Structure 1
């Protein structure tokens, strides 16, 4: 049963990542916390999952002509620096605050999407 739940979670995360980009990672964190319990591990695992899912989605988008590498290039240096800083801070942030900050980010994102 556990293998089936993980496979269903992975398929759901993959579909959402393909549709919404890293938005699949938000769902991944929720699924991983429910399946495995630990918040920091769920966040770190979601990032690793999202790496591979984003690579697959990127390949599909580039080969179908939806986007070019030059479209993404201006965002990569800042994104890479931000990712490193975030990964370094993850170990230092208590689980309580990690959950609160994550919840505020999701609520902010949902509110922006709702009222656009």
Structure 2
């Protein structure tokens, strides 16, 4: 049986990520980072940084639809954005100082904790 082409894998990864992002309001990092690392062979740091660049347009599309349907809590949104901008700056600065191995393990632990919290 023939292996799927790289272009097919990339498009499928994007399709799945977009659907998860639109449905759950999340999924960019949790789908993209492992997908790029394991399926496409992208280094850990590049997978995380690339995921952030990919998530922006996906989030804009989803947010537009959520705004259109009037389902955004603006009082919460604006306050979280304020803290999120500062946190993003700090996280991005720390990102460059962490090894691929530590980054992969920390991300894995974060995903496990998040999954457990969502189930229970």
- State if a TM-score over 0.5 links the two structures: yes
**TM-score for the superposition, normalised by structure 1:** 0.92
> In 2, distance between residues paired with 1:5 and 1:23?
17
Cα distance, 1:4 vs structure 2? 1.2
Cα displacement string for residues 54-85 of structure 1 (whole angstroms, at most 9, x for unaligned residues): 11100000011111544410111100111111
Question: Which ranges in structure 1 are unaligned for 5 or more consecutive residues?
Answer: none
Alignment partner of 1:17: what SS? helix
> In 2, distance between residues paired with 1:53 and 1:69?
19
Q: Which has the higher contact order (CA 8 A, sep 6+)?
A: 2
Task: Check if 1:79 corresponds to 2:84.
Answer: yes
* Runs of 4+ more than 3 Å apart: 68-71
Tell me which protein shows more helix as a share of its residues.
Answer: 1
Most deviating of 22-31 and 9-18: 22-31
Match of 1:12 in 2: 16
Backbone CA RMSD of aligned residues: 1.3
